[in-house]
Amino acid sequence: MTETTTPQIISIGPENTINEVVVFTSHAQIKRQITTPVQLGTNRFLIELHAFEVDADSLQAAVYGTGEIISVQYKEISVTEAETKQLDLNELKAQQHQLEDQRRTLKYTLEDCKKQRAFVDSALKQVETRDVLGKINIKELFENLQYMLEIVDTTYAKLSQQELDIFKKTQAIEEQLNLVQQQLATRPDVPSTHKIVEVLFNSKTSEKIKMEISYIVNYAIWKPFYKVDVTQDLTNLTIMMFAHIEQNTGEDWQQVKLSVSNAMPIQSTRLPELKSWHIQQPDIFECSTDPWDSNTQQAPLNGVQLDGSSNMEELTTSNLSDFPGSEVHTDDFASEADPLEEADLYIAYGRYEHAETVLLEYIKNHPNSNDAKNKLRALYLVTRNTQKLRELARNHPGKTYLQEILQHIENDDTAFPSSAPAATFIQAQDLQSSLAFEFQLPTLIDIPANGNETLLPLFTKIPKYGFFYYTIPKQDPLVYLVCQADLSNEWLPGRMNIHIGGRFVGNTILDEKQAGQELLINLGSVQDVKIKREKYLDEVSKRMFKGMLDRSNALRKVEIRIVIENLKEQEIQIKILDAIPVSSTDTIQIKDVTMTPEPTLKDWQSQQGVMQWDLNIAAKSVIEIRMQFIVKYPRNCQIAHLNID
């Protein structure tokens, strides 16, 4: 093997660039491309990196040249050992301190000159006073007058010249100091260590080679972001998926081929193990002596309880937690939403009708917003929808401005033909692997390392879908509009903004999709479908056994009625969830259960006692659901969680 040549430092620049990035949920994989000449024999390359944190175990390298790779390793070494180009940072700082000292010296010199001038002025004033003149011989004064004038003239001239020189020198120092400070502002501090990838390559010939190195860096994340557009008449639905990317890795990504992946890093290569399943008897609690004493603390019998909710606490309507579509935060998010930014998104991706609706409403409420007017003008210059613009120009509060836009379009000889198709937005390529989903953007992307948000479109889907209404009156008196969509496997958990008829109505958080589940999107509550749940009967009776009073047990008869009113002009489909209590012990029994009408599905999603009704309610009509049951329990025991209201 030929002796190793002098180490060749390949600094970040045209010969050492990032050309491909894959962003994962908590890190990113960087691929660098390096081009460099090699000499015959063993070549040592020191490839510069600027990343804050590098996973050394993830380092890989490929060399495209005639020869063999000897070693590839990540190193953090001192700047001198790396033999990087010398930064004159210390020299600039020393020069800055020197200039500041010179400026300080000139300041003190100027103060001395001012003090000398003040002294001369004070001496002249004393000569001019009568008391001094009375003590001096006038003859001698006139004889020395010429001499005194010459001294004063010389002194003032000398002081003035000194002050002028100080002013010029100070001005020159200020200019030099500003220049040094500007240079310091553009130069980073010299690092104590330098991050490099060392590649040893045994070349069989002198040539120019290409190398590719890849490594994992921290401080880079991406998460899905969705935007749902539903038409006002519920006849069309579009879902757009975006990638929300943030990176502060220490390296700018400039003109890179960008992909995002939901692959999860493996923390350990050890496979999971299953251990024995042990159960044990619960603790025993004593029952209350008076079951109807409001001051008596409720306690379960023999460690078990009658759970009147049957896990219904987990089925809150406000978040639809048992559905993949979850909580709607209409009020919170609406306060943060910027209609102009929403309009920009619509315009960027060809949703011109929605953008027009948002901008017209904004101008109606903010007639002096030049930003909104300029966006609307640009929109109409693209759509050329003069017919609708002419109608709006007659009645809209901003009709004066709309008339100006209309006149400009009609007089514009260079206008685009109205039949020109709307531009479409880019679609990321779906690269599914055996482990995860990956989306690759079709264009080169710039993302600086500043931690700011970058939002990039991935795809647009028009899935199979349907709409229904959903309510759990036991937990929430509101009725929600839900969209049931059949999406492909690209569906990932993330935040989703919802727009109906071009108006932003709220957002939801989509949970992880489970096998066999459809995507259910909560579109928010409605006001024209009313529901009321009330306790119609709740009484305790004495139990007779063979004609005798049974003092050991009590019977509690309960009837609950649910009333649903459809105020709409058309028939609706609604899913209603409610529950009857479930006993966990033989000493408490639920008897004589009747439900009218019968539920469509009992024990919904394998939750005992939870019922689901799928009902069609005609326009302007009311239906009622009745649930009746009897609870038998020991009279000396207070029952936990039997909350009928």
Compute the distance between CA of residue 310 and CA of residue 582 in angstroms, rounded to an integer. 6
Mean pLDDT score of the chain: 76
First to last CA, the chain: 88
For 23-78, write each residue's pLDDT tens digit: 998 899 999 999 999 999 999 999 999 999 999 999 999 999 999 999 999 998 77
Percent of the chain with pLDDT over 90: 29
Task: List the strands of the sheet with 54-64, edge to edge.
Answer: 54-64, 207-217, 28-38, 16-23, 253-261, 438-447, 429-430
Residue 74 lies in a domain: yes
Q: Is the domain of 57 the same as that of 138?
A: no
Compute the distance between CA of residue 185 and CA of residue 559 in angstroms, rounded to an integer. 77
State which of 185, 205, 240 marks the end of a domain.
Answer: 185
Residue 383 lies in a domain: no
Instruction: Report pLDDT for 382.
Output: 60
Instruction: Report pLDDT for 365.
Output: 83
Q: Is the domain of 119 the same as that of 202?
A: no
Eight-state DSSP code of residue 585: S
Residue 156 sits at the vertex; the CA angle it makes with 151 and 159, to the nearest 5 degrees, is: 125
Helices assigned H by DSSP within 40-191: 79-82, 89-128, 130-135, 138-143, 145-185
Q: Is the domain of 180 the same as that of 137?
A: yes
Report the 3 state secondary structure along 550-584: EEEEEEEEEEEEEEEEECCCCCEEEEEEEECCECC
Has residue 313 got a pLDDT over 50?
Answer: no
Q: Taking the mean position of all CA atoms in its chain, how far away is CA 63?
A: 39
Percent of the chain with pLDDT over 70: 70
Q: Is the domain of 95 the same as that of 34?
A: no
Residue 644 lies in a domain: no
Instruction: Report pLDDT for 566.
Output: 94
Average pLDDT over every residue of 307-329: 40
Q: Is the domain of 93 the same as that of 181?
A: yes
Q: Is the domain of 106 the same as that of 145?
A: yes
State which of 169, 185, 201 marks the end of a domain.
Answer: 185
Residue 13 lies in a domain: yes
pLDDT-derived band at 309 (thresholds 50, 70, 90) equals: very low
Q: Is the domain of 165 the same as that of 199?
A: no
Average pLDDT over every residue of 214-238: 89
Has residue 371 got a pLDDT over 90?
Answer: no
Q: Is the domain of 95 the same as that of 164?
A: yes
Is there a cis peptide before residue 581, judged by omega within 30 degrees of 0?
no
Instruction: Report pLDDT for 501.
Output: 81
User: What is the CATH classification number for the domain harbouring 21?
Assistant: 2.60.120
Q: Is the domain of 13 the same as that of 155?
A: no
Reported pTM: 0.56
Average pLDDT over every residue of 421-426: 62
Which tokens in the block code for residue 483?
């969209």
Average pLDDT over every residue of 606-631: 92
Compute the distance between CA of residue 584 and CA of residue 639 in angstroms, rounded to an integer. 11
E-assigned strand segments in 320-434:
429-430
| Domain count within the chain | 2
Residue 466 lies in a domain: no
Residue 138 lies in a domain: yes
Eight-state DSSP code of residue 248: -
State which of 185, 210, 243 marks the end of a domain.
Answer: 185
Q: Is the domain of 107 the same as that of 135?
A: yes
Residue 78 lies in a domain: yes
Q: Which domain holds residue 14?
A: 8-86+191-218
Q: Is the domain of 21 the same as that of 75?
A: yes
Q: Is the domain of 19 the same as that of 159?
A: no
Q: Which of 109-118, 250-259, 418-427 has the lowest mean pLDDT?
A: 418-427
Residue 335 lies in a domain: no
pLDDT-derived band at 17 (thresholds 50, 70, 90) equals: very high
For 529-555, write each residue's pLDDT tens digit: 999 999 888 888 766 555 566 677 888
pLDDT-derived band at 171 (thresholds 50, 70, 90) equals: confident
Instruction: Report pLDDT for 47.
Output: 93
Has residue 188 got a pLDDT over 90?
Answer: no
Instruction: Report pLDDT for 288.
Output: 43
Average pLDDT over every residue of 138-154: 60
**Between 472 and 315, where is the model more confident?**
472
